[in-house]
Structure 1
Amino acid sequence: MYVVTGATGQLGQLVIEALLKKVPASEIIAAVRNVEKAAPLAEKGVQVRFADYTNPQSLVIAFAGASKVLLISSSEVGQRFEQHKAVIDAAKQVGIELLAYTSILNANQSPLALAQEHKQTEAYIAQADIPAALLRNGWYSENYLAGIGASLEHGVMLGCAGDGKISSAPRADYAQAAAEVLTQPNQAGKVYELAGDEGFTLEQFAQYLADLSGKPVAYNNLPESEYAAVLESVGIPAGFAAILADSETGASKGGLFDDSKTLSQLIGRPTVSIEASLKDAVAK
């Protein structure tokens, strides 16, 4: 039995789609906070169980009978570690064979503030002495695709990543990797640095967008504080705006680049390039 936490989230849904190509639906448990939202998964034959990262007992019940658990990291920055800790404790209590955890690229040396709770979680997994595999995911291409409408409208893309390269891949590629790790044998103790095959700078991204759309788009690199202020001005909460700006500064220091091609090796094909993702997004 395979458990996917956060199964109705953007990554979780894709992981279940990937798992359904490998194992019967009856062997998949979607652990979710909102059972009604998971109705489409239940219709496919997936077992849907209530599980809340802040409710430890619900996790123990949800994991009953499972052999492998995918812990998809919480989206609640600042509360992640305690939530992850509850999942790890529950997984250990029920005696799972493997815990796979979606961490962050090069977590042990990442300059990104976002890495801190991932480091704490990885350390707790080691301390818990539980069989585990670390899926250190790089940036999702969707993180930048979401803003192309505004960039096309204003003819400019804002950021603070300088000339730092970003090795992104679509969520679906990372989801397939998670499904591979869950279903392959002998994964305990493995650490995967997962990222897109090719890196790009945000200036290159803006140029790709301009070429594909036929509209002028320039990249304007700002100081981190100014970029954070811009994000706040469009409605992003101050704390999260600061995290996003810090992440781009981290990219300028190499924090979001990896050329090992571990992800493509794991999924058995090249990762989807940012140009291909942009082409699809512009066509829509």
Structure 2
Amino acid sequence: MYAVTGASGQLGRLVIEALLEQVAPEQIIALVRDPATVAGLAARGVVARRFDYDQPATLVPALSGVDGLLLISSNALGVRTAQHRAVVDAVTTAGVGHLVYTSILHADANPMNLATEHRDTEAAIAASGVPHTILRNGWYTENYAAAAPTAVRHGVLAGSAGQGRIAAASRADYALAAATALLAGVSGAGIHELAGDDAFTLDAFAREIGAIAAVPVVYRDLPEAAYRALLEQAGLPAPVAAMLAESDAKAADDSLYDDGHALSRLIGRPTTPWRETLRATLSQ
């Protein structure tokens, strides 16, 4: 039995779809706060169980019979360490044989504030003694492609990443990697630094937006504080804006770059070209 946390989320749903291509639906457990959110998966035979990071009493029962668990990192910034530790404790109590965790690229040395909770979680997993696989994911190309329509309207793509190289891959690439690692079990245990095969700077990304849309688009590099203010003006909550701006500024020093090609090796094919993801976004 293979279980996936956050199964109703964008990554979780893609992971389950990847698993469905290789194992029977009754071997897959979708772990979610509200099983009603995955009614469609349940109708296809996937097992749905309540699993709430903030309700520890739901965790151990939901892991009954689970051989391998994919812990998709929570999006609750600031409380993720406690949430993840509760899951790790439940894993040991339930006797899960293998744990896969989605961390951040170069978590041990990554200067982004986001990396702190990932480092804490990795430490908790290591201390648990449970056989584990750490997937240190780079950025999704979709993180930047989502800004492309606005960039087309205004002729500007804003950011704080300078000329930092960003080796992003598609969300589907990372989902396939997670499914592959989960199915591999302890034979694939270890730490994997996952990133796209080809990198871009935001300047190159802006130029490509313009080329696809056939309009002039330039990259405007802003100080972190100015970019944070711009994101807030666009309607993002202040903590989210601060996180995105700080992460972008740290990317200026290649914090989101890796050329080891571990992701393409794990999924058995080249990663999705960033231009392809960008083109698909702009065609919607």
Please give the residue correspondences for 1:234-249 in structure 2 after superposition, counting only pairs within 5 Å. Answer: 234-249=234-249
User: What is the match of residue 60 of structure 1?
Assistant: 60
Distance 1:271 1:189 in 2: 21
CA distance in 2, matches of 1:124, 1:278: 37
Q: CA deviation at 1:157?
A: 0.4
Q: Between the two proteins, what is the percent identity of the paired residues?
A: 48
1:92 matched to 2:92? The reply is yes
Q: Which residue of 1 aligns with 2:254?
A: 254
What is the aligned partner in structure 2 of residue 123 from structure 1? 123
* Alpha-carbon separation, structure 1, partners of 2:159 and 2:143: 12
Scaled by the length of structure 2, the TM-score of the pair is 0.98
Residue of structure 1 equivalent to 2:11: 11
User: Letter of the aligned partner of 1:202 in structure 2?
Assistant: L
- C-alpha RMSD of matched pairs (Å): 0.9
Q: Is the 8 A contact 1:28 1:47 kept in 2?
A: yes
Taking the aligned partners of 2:4 and 2:245, their CA distance within structure 1 comes to 30
**2:186 equivalent to 1:186:** yes
The structural deviation recorded for 1:187 is 3.6
CA shift in 2, pair 1:87/1:241, >3 Å: same
- State the shift of 1:146 in Å: 1.1
| Structure 2 counterparts to residues 109-258 of structure 1, below 5 A | 109-187=109-187, 189-258=189-258
- Give every structure 1 segment of 4 or more consecutive aligned residues whose post-TM-superposition deviation is greater than 6 Å: none
| Pair 1:283 & 2:267 matched | no
* Number of equivalences: 284
Secondary structure, aligned partner of 2:108: helix
Structure 1 residues without counterparts, runs of 5 or longer: none
The superposition leaves residues 93-126 of structure 1 with CA deviations (integer Å, 9 ceiling, x where unpaired) of: 1111100000000000001110000000001111
The 1-side partners of 2:44 and 2:197 are apart by 33
The answer (yes or no) to whether the contact 2:208–2:275 under 8 Å persists in 1 is: yes
Distance, in Å, in 1 between the alignment partners of 2:97 and 2:142 is 32
CA distance in 2, matches of 1:80, 1:272: 29
State the secondary structure of the residue aligned to 1:260: coil
**Structure 2 regions of 5+ residues with no counterpart?**
none
Deviation (angstroms), 1:188: 6.0
Give, in angstroms, the shift of residue 278 of structure 1: 1.1
Q: Matched residues in 2 for 1:264 and 1:38: separation?
A: 29
Q: Secondary structure at the match of 2:31?
A: strand
- Output one character per residue of 1:179-206: Cα deviation in whole Å (capped at 9) or x when no partner: 1111114346410000100110000000
